[in-house]
Amino acid sequence: MEVTKENFDQVLPVIAEAIKECDFLAFDTELTGLTTRGQRITGLDSVEERYQKIRASATSFQTIQWGLCAFKWDEQSRTYVYMRIRWS
């Protein structure tokens, strides 16, 4: 579901219900840039180095979009599944 400033008030109750019913949430952000100069992440980085590089990028760029996905345990498949949010 796409949420915009035009439909936010209308879809907020649907989103709130999904949050209330889910087992956990995943967040995602889109920033105005990826990495700052000299902060490229490599597979050789320690956990601390990786954190510092991601932190530097996150504080250097603006968030322009964010995503939210709600997950619920499905006993039949014995896996977590994302909740389809219906809105019309």
Query: Which conformational region is residue 78 in: left (phi greater than 0), alpha (psi within -120 to 50 degrees), or beta?
Result: left
Q: What is the pLDDT of residues 40-61, one digit of tens each?
A: 778 899 999 989 888 888 888 8
In DSSP notation, the chain reads ----TTTHHHHHHHHHHHHHH-SEEEEEEEES-S--TT----TT--HHHHHHHHHHHHHHS-EEEEEEEEEEEETTTTEEEEPPPP--
Q: What is the pLDDT of residues 21-40, one digit of tens each?
A: 999 999 888 889 877 777 77
Q: The tokens of 9 are what? A: 């008030």
Task: Give pTM, 2 decimals.
Answer: 0.65
